[in-house]
Chains A and B, each alone.
Chain A
């Protein structure tokens, strides 16, 4: 076993230990915690979660892929999420997403090939008053226009390039 694998296993075990009841009902909570730890859900992590909860790996995989919040592919460093909720939609959110997809060449749900940015959409984050909005690495930007978004993302990715 390689060193990273060994530490990964340790990290998975640490997450699982938060759920001492071995209760299958904790599966989704565990998947959240594992994803927070690794940014995405690796096969190893899912296999271990399955063994820990006594569930068939196929069920764990089925559950993981059922929810749009979980990712089984490596994820990028940054995340730009366009709110596509109804309130934002009627205020022009689709144009924002199109712009973002054009700027990054990645469709919603995808990640740029250099793993710098994830392009995401979400349905309402409860800040409809300032829609349409975009969330860049956890920071919400309200009253967005396609142009503002373009600048925001270009700036972020340019800074990346320079580092």
Chain B
């Protein structure tokens, strides 16, 4: 067991000692084993690489390191060679020997594995040449590619916990002032000024105060917080310790979504490592600060991301929101002063303390400082995590970093703000992304989900999708939200099934109005945003469904038919063999046809056809 670090000096010496062990010339091959890459087989790649590298033994000192998400999930499994900064994408086990032999031993690049800039068709050797990274400012995510998230030493070697040393030196009041001046606003959705929240909690009376990290990340299509917690858990923890210092909190909780088992494991491990080094517990770094943290898992309820519901859940009750008569900062968990911040908010704190509020507020816009991580997903060429300064336009994110829409399709909309956000159309692409502008445009920042939709996405279907999600996530307390959302979902169902009329649309609007106006928590009041924003920007599409019984995007099953283009079909029989309904008929090498009465529109024929001969109308 390691000895506890007695004071900030001991931490600095500990770091220096690590530095001696790791020469700056140390070569590292960082294999991303974040959620996306892991699902792509990255663990096997990592293990093969480690075996290979270890076999080199004394020949060459190279370390294979498994890291958290490096952001460019699209390219996964992803490899980053440090210090050169070479990035290899779509690496397979078969490539490992070649990488070691050519690149590690021979200093030669395996061109086949380089990423290609689709705009210039040039190969990108280094990370900063890759368009995906070039458009970013990776303040929080950069270290994800450099450190092994299971090692506190990696974090410390990169300067980790020096912000805590600095904060202890500054003292609580100065830290609070710095955070206030930085203009940092909460990254969990509402964008509330963090410093003000901290101040209220600091000023609240009570011996026992809590700080809580909201890692419930309920937005179904976003994984920023997962990536931070898995890829750099100590940065979040350090932020919490600094917050505890500033607010005088003694206990912390990290409330993690149950669907993130690896994040749970990483943060749990980070906590025990920090305890061992005396960075948590009694007398942190020899100071008077006492603070300890525990991990609580969610149970699978989006609403528990809401502050009052989370407190109920943490107290062993049903996660039902309540109107907060008294602010959380005065009466939160177990009735004591509590401060809740999002994962990404906490991760910003060490940077602010270390580099100063002036530096921080110089990034981004005046009202929204710093960077924001977006989870850029859906119909976009480069799916992954994008960290950009606040105020970057949607266009830069979607078409710059994101590389635009794949398969030559047209951009249709981008949904920001998660399930309760809104869909913005093409003519809003030049909108700068910050808290206030997005809201003015009828959407919101939310926690950073950004879902790109192309011409094949039906906006009515998308609105129905979000309602389905939110109706099933409603806690069931309020009449308006519990039953209103379920009914709204049914009404949109009528529209997508062709039985809707203009009256249905009017009823949707009327009901949505009441759900918005009379529900207790923000789940209910903002649940209608996807419907209202699609009605605002894509009303034509709704009208096509009700007036012409037509789904322009070809998505709504009841309104489409599958057929085979006789010109294109070469009678390969593939679709006939796979059709679950035996609805495709035709002779070998002859154009096939679909028997409409049998077809259930499952779309398999279209998936399997290699000649794009199956048409949807």
Q: Closest approach, in angstroms, between the C-beta of A59 and any C-beta of chain B? A: 7
Within 8 A of B (CB), among A12-52: 23-29, 31-32
B interface residues, how many (CB within 8 angstroms): 62
**Across the interface, which residues of B come within 8 angstroms of A68, CB to CB?**
299-301, 472
Q: Kindly state whether residue A89 has any CB partner on chain B within 8 Å.
A: yes
Nearest CB of chain B from residue A26's CB, rounded to whole Å? 7
Residue of A nearest to B74 (CB): A129
Give the contacting residue for A98; candidates B73, B296, B451, B602; CB below 8 A: B602
- A147 an interface residue at 8 Å Cβ cutoff? yes
- CB–CB B378/A91 < 8 A: yes
Q: Check A86 against B465 for contact (C-beta < 8 Å).
A: yes
Chain B, range 539-593, C-beta contacts under 8 Å to A: 578, 580
- Flag whether B220 is at the interface (Cβ < 8 A): yes
- Looking at the assembled complex, report how far the CB atom of B234 sits from the nearest CB atom of chain A, in whole angstroms: 19
- Give the contact stretch, choosing among B308-316, B338-346, B508-516: B308-316
Contact of A86 among B73, B377, B475 (CB under 8 A): B377
Complex Cα–Cα for A24 and B296 (A): 12
CA gap between A88 and B375 in the complex, in Å:
13
Please, which residues of chain A bring their CB within 8 A of the CB of B76?
129-130
Which residue of chain A lies nearest to B384 when distances are taken between CB atoms in the complex? A129
B298 close to chain A: CB less than 8 A: yes
Please tell me if A102 contacts chain B, counting CB pairs below 8 Å: yes
> Which residues from chain A contact B419 at a C-beta distance below 8 Å?
86
| A24, A86, A87, A146 pick with most chain B CB within 10 angstroms | A86
Q: Are A32 and B220 in contact (CB under 8 A)?
A: no
Q: Inside 8 A of B192's CB, which chain A residues have their CB?
A: none
Contact residues, A79-94 vs B (CB, 8 A): 84-92
Stretch in contact with the other chain, from B34-42, B96-104, B386-394, B518-526? B34-42
Interface size counted on chain A using CB atoms at 8 A: 50
The verdict on B537 contacting chain A, using a C-beta distance below 8 Å, is: no
Q: How far is the CB of A52 from chain B (nearest CB, A)?
A: 12
* Contact residues in A for B221 (Cβ distance below 8 Å): 85-89, 123-124, 128
Contacts of A124 in B (CB 8 A): 219-223, 259
Q: How far is the CB of A101 from chain B (nearest CB, A)?
A: 11
Residue of A nearest to B258 (CB): A69
Is B580 a contact of A126 with CB atoms below 8 Å?
Answer: no
Does B323 sit within 8 A of A, measured CB to CB?
no
Closest to A103 in B: B580
Say what secondary structure dominates the interface of chain A.
helix
A145 interface residue, CB < 8 Å from B? yes
CB of B486 within 8 Å of the partner chain: no
Closest Cβ of chain A: how far from B81's Cβ, in Å? 21
Task: Name the segment of B173-181, B348-356, B603-611 touching the other chain.
Answer: B603-611
Q: What is the distance, in angstroms, from B591's C-beta to the closest C-beta of chain A? A: 21
Q: Report the bound CA distance from A127 to B457 in whole Å.
A: 20
Q: Let me know if B316 and A90 touch, CB within 8 A.
A: no
Chain A residues within 8 Å of B607, by CB: 145-147
Contact A146 B604 (CB under 8 A): yes
Cβ of A115 within 8 Å of any chain B Cβ, yes or no, is no
| Docked CA distance A53–B315 (Å) | 11
Q: Closest Cβ of chain B: how far from A104's Cβ, in Å?
A: 13
One of A63, A90, A95, A150 near B317 (C-beta < 8 A): A63
Decide: A86 near B451, CB < 8 A? Known: A126-B36, A142-B39.
yes
**A129 and B36 form a contact (CB under 8 A):** yes
Q: Mark A116-158, 1 if CB is under 8 A from B, else 0.
A: 0000001111111111010000001110011100100000000
B270 within 8 A of A: no
- CB contact list, B208-222 vs A, under 8 A: 218-222
A25 to B457, CA, bound (A): 43
- B453 closest partner in A (C-beta): A90
User: What residues of chain A lie closer than 8 Å to B375, measured between beta carbons?
Assistant: 128
Kindly list chain A residues whose C-beta atoms are within 8 Å of the C-beta of B220.
84-86, 123-124
**Is B435 on the interface with A (CB-CB < 8 A)?**
no
Q: Which of B298-343 contact A (CB under 8 A)?
A: 298-302, 313-320, 334
A150 / chain B contacts, CB cutoff of 8 Å? 580
**Inter-chain contact A131/B300, CB cutoff 8 Å:** no
Q: In the complex the two chains form, is B603's CB within 8 Å of A29's CB?
A: no
Does B297 sit at the interface, judged by CB under 8 A? yes
Given A86-B419, A99-B602, A70-B299 contact (CB < 8 Å)? yes
Assess the B379–A67 pair: CB atoms within 8 A.
Answer: no
Q: With contacts A66-B318, A87-B451, A99-B602 known, is A126 near B223, CB below 8 A?
A: yes
In the assembled complex, the Cα of A116 lies from the Cα of B312 at a distance in Å of: 35
Instruction: Report B443 CB to chain A, min CB distance, Å.
Output: 14
Q: State how many angstroms separate the Cβ of A151 from the closest Cβ of chain B.
A: 10
Complex Cα distance, B392 from A24, in Å, reads: 45
Contact with A along B473-506 (1 / 0, CB 8 A): 0010000000000000000000000000000000
What's the least CB distance linking A87 to chain B, in Å? 4
- In the bound complex, what is the Cα–Cα distance between A91 and B380 (angstroms)? 11
Q: Judge whether A55 is part of the interface by a CB distance below 8 angstroms.
A: yes
Nearest-CB residue, chain B, relative to A67: B299
- Identity of the chain A residue whose Cβ is nearest the Cβ of B376 in the assembled complex: A128
Q: Can you list 27 A-B pairs, Cβ within 8 angstroms, ordered by A?
A: A25-B314, A28-B299, A67-B299, A70-B300, A84-B469, A86-B220, A86-B451, A87-B451, A89-B465, A90-B457, A92-B603, A102-B602, A124-B219, A124-B222, A124-B259, A125-B259, A127-B73, A127-B223, A128-B221, A128-B223, A128-B383, A129-B74, A129-B76, A129-B383, A129-B384, A133-B39, A141-B39
A89-B465, A142-B40 known; 16 new pairs, CB 8 Å cut-off, are A28-B296, A28-B299, A32-B258, A59-B317, A66-B318, A69-B299, A86-B466, A87-B221, A89-B221, A89-B462, A126-B226, A127-B73, A128-B36, A128-B383, A129-B74, A130-B36
Q: Which 9 A-B pairs have the closest CB atoms?
A: A67-B299, A86-B221, A69-B300, A123-B220, A126-B223, A129-B73, A140-B39, A87-B377, A24-B316
